[in-house]
């Protein structure tokens, strides 16, 4: 199977198009020059014929042309059977000499015509030279077109080669984003898309090892507890109550392991959800539904959930399950770390990037030096495996969105979890009046 080259195809098409245009232009130019010269000769012979027919001087009002043109001019009266008043012209070539002949009606009753002929051998030679020069100019011009086409194709293919070389030299250990600002404007969307994929690969490589190590560590500890408890229990005969207590501890440890396994299964399901076909949704409506669900939970925990969504609508094409997962994790963490009687606020606003979604709590804040998006990272003594934010980060990467976690800076203790949706893949609904 033949391999197609963009550059070769471009060169062939450009050369064919250039050759066609050069031939077309040159032909039109030569035809125009030839027609102009013949028109001039025609008008000259016609004027001679009119002057003779009207008994005027052959070179009326321009006697200076007499000596110059009389040598190559021949005038005679001929009899023709065709009796019409039309003027006709033709040319005859004999022994490398060409004559241009005009037949002008002189006396139609006697079927006589003025036959005015002029030697145009030199004119034909000049036209031949013009055609020769045009041919040479075409060859030189076509050579310049070839040079220009090669240089232009090289310039146009350079960004593609740059991207190709950049990607071909990458592996999981040596990978860096493409400098989009150095690419032509037409390649910027491609560069942005590739950088997004590179970012996802970097995060995958970075966190996947931590996930495997963390999973092994998190499962190893409860297994060790179960084994040790069973060994202690089997060392001597015990009462039924002691056996029941040992089984309860074992079941509790198994439940903890089940939580870890369930979260790991969520990671697998999320990977599948990332392959779901994106659909167009109103993000604000999704936020309202999710906020309504958690408002009841907040009231049950004696906490306050405030809602402030702007604009009225924001359409985006994305996977709804991934968006729900991120917002749900934000709200769960906010309510978990916010004391009773305190507030959690979920809000959205439009900025220069797109739609900014924020969940602001009044909890204890975070240690910003920690990477909470890494697997099994958690703070405080609250229950949890530490995979929630890891899943949220993975979902945000799949959506092409940005996620962040930081402390509040308004003098109130608490955390701000934010999700930035890019407006390039979305649009804002008109505000309701």
Looking at residue 50, its pLDDT comes to 86
Q: Average pLDDT, stretch 92-121?
A: 86
Is 165 a member of any domain? no
Between the alpha carbon of residue 94 and those of residues 88, 90, 98, the distances in Å are 20, 13, 6
Out of 38-52, 60-74, 216-230, 376-390, the most confident range is 38-52
* Torsion of Cα atoms, 109 then 112 then 113 then 114, to 10°: -120
Looking at residue 273, its pLDDT comes to 57
> Looking at the structure, do residues 285 and 412 belong to the same domain, yes or no?
yes
> Looking at the structure, do residues 302 and 254 belong to the same domain, yes or no?
no
Is 152 a member of any domain? no
> Looking at the structure, do residues 124 and 40 belong to the same domain, yes or no?
yes
122-132, pLDDT tens digit by residue? 888 999 999 99
Looking at residue 218, its pLDDT comes to 66
Looking at residue 387, its pLDDT comes to 76
Rounded to 5 degrees, φ, ψ at 190 are -65, -45
| Cβ atoms of 315 and 282 closer than 8 Å | yes
Is 268 a member of any domain? yes
DSSP string, 85-126: ---EEEEEEETTEEEEEEEEEEEGGGTEEEEEEEE-HHHHHH
d(CA 373, CA 364): 18
Looking at residue 67, its pLDDT comes to 45
Looking at residue 173, its pLDDT comes to 61
> Looking at the structure, do residues 333 and 231 belong to the same domain, yes or no?
no
> Looking at the structure, do residues 129 and 231 belong to the same domain, yes or no?
no
User: Residue 287's closest CA among 384, 421, 431, 393?
Assistant: 421
> Looking at the structure, do residues 11 and 34 belong to the same domain, yes or no?
yes
Checking if the pLDDT of 416 tops 50, the result is yes
Checking if the pLDDT of 384 tops 70, the result is no
List the structure tokens of 350. 């439009």
| Cβ atoms of 330 and 417 closer than 8 Å | yes
Looking at residue 25, its pLDDT comes to 92
> Looking at the structure, do residues 309 and 394 belong to the same domain, yes or no?
yes
Looking at residue 191, its pLDDT comes to 78
Checking if the pLDDT of 57 tops 60, the result is no
Is 190 a member of any domain? no
Domain boundary among 124, 143, 162: 143
Residue 190: which residues within 8 A CB-CB, separation 6 or more?
Answer: 163, 183
**Which of the two residues, 173 and 309, has the higher pLDDT score?**
309
The enclosing domain of 235 has a CATH number of: 1.10.287.130
> Looking at the structure, do residues 118 and 226 belong to the same domain, yes or no?
no
Is 170 a member of any domain? no
Looking at residue 348, its pLDDT comes to 94
The enclosing domain of 423 has a CATH number of: 3.30.565.10
Looking at residue 383, its pLDDT comes to 56
List the structure tokens of 63. 């006697």
> Looking at the structure, do residues 224 and 246 belong to the same domain, yes or no?
yes
Our count of domains for the chain comes to 3
Domain membership of residue 41 as a residue range: 6-143
Checking if the pLDDT of 1 tops 50, the result is no
Residue 291: which residues within 8 A CB-CB, separation 6 or more?
Answer: 305, 307, 331, 346
> Looking at the structure, do residues 128 and 82 belong to the same domain, yes or no?
yes
> Looking at the structure, do residues 50 and 119 belong to the same domain, yes or no?
yes
> Looking at the structure, do residues 121 and 210 belong to the same domain, yes or no?
no
Is 192 a member of any domain? no
Identify the residue whose tokens are 């000259």: 44
What secondary structure letter does DSSP report for 238? -
Domain boundary among 222, 257, 273: 273
Is 164 a member of any domain? no
Rounded to 5 degrees, φ, ψ at 412 are -105, 135
Looking at residue 331, its pLDDT comes to 92
pLDDT, mean over the chain: 80
Lowest mean pLDDT among 66-70, 195-199, 325-329, 392-396: 66-70
Q: Average pLDDT, stretch 16-35?
A: 91
Is 153 a member of any domain? no
User: Residue 261's closest CA among 229, 227, 218?
Assistant: 218
Residue 411: which residues within 8 A CB-CB, separation 6 or more?
Answer: none
**Which of the two residues, 175 and 367, has the higher pLDDT score?**
367
């Amino acid at each position: 199977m033949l391999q197609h080259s963009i550059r070769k195809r471009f060169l062939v098409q450009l050369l064919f198009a250039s050759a066609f245009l050069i031939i077309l232009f040159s032909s039109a130019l030569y035809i125009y020059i030839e027609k102009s010269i013949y028109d001039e000769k025609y008008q000259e012979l016609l004027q001679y014929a009119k002057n003779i027919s009207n008994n005027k001087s052959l070179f009326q009002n321009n006697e200076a042309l007499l000596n110059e043109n009389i040598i190559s001019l021949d005038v005679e009266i001929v009899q023709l059977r065709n009796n019409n008043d039309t003027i006709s012209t033709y040319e005859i070539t004999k022994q490398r000499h060409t004559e241009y002949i005009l037949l002008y009606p002189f006396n139609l009753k006697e079927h006589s015509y003025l036959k005015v002929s002029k030697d145009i051998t030199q004119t034909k030679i000049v036209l031949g030279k013009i055609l020769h020069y045009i041919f040479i100019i075409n060859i030189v011009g076509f050579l310049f077109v070839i040079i220009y086409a090669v240089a232009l194709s090289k310039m146009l293919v350079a960004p593609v080669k740059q991207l190709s070389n950049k990607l071909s030299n990458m592996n999981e250990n040596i990978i860096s984003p493409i400098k989009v600002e150095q690419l032509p404007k037409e390649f910027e969307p491609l560069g942005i898309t590739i950088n997004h994929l590179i970012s996802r690969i970097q995060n995958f490589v970075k966190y996947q090892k931590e996930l495997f190590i963390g999973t092994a560590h998190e499962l190893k500890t409860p297994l060790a507890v179960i084994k040790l408890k069973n060994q202690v229990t089997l060392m001597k005969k015990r009462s039924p109550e002691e056996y029941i207590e040992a089984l309860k501890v074992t079941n509790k440890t198994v439940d903890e392991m089940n939580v870890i396994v369930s979260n790991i299964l969520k990671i697998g399901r999320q990977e599948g959800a990332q392959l779901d076909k994106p659909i167009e949704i109103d993000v604000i409506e999704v936020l309202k539904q999710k906020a309504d669900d958690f408002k009841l939970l907040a009231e049950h925990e004696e906490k306050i959930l405030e809602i402030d969504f702007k604009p009225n609508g924001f359409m985006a094409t994305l996977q709804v399950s991934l968006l729900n997962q991120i917002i749900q994790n934000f709200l769960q963490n906010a309510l978990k770390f916010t004391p009773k009687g305190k507030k959690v606020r979920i809000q959205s606003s439009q900025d220069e990037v797109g739609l900014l979604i924020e969940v602001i709590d009044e909890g204890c804040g975070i240690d910003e030096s920690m990477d909470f998006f890494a697997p099994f990272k958690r703070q405080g003594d609250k229950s949890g495996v530490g995979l929630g934010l890891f899943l949220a980060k993975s979902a945000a990467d799949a959506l092409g969105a940005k996620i962040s976690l930081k402390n509040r800076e308004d003098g109130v203790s608490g955390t701000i979890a934010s999700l930035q949706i890019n407006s390039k893949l979305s649009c804002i609904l008109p505000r309701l009046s």
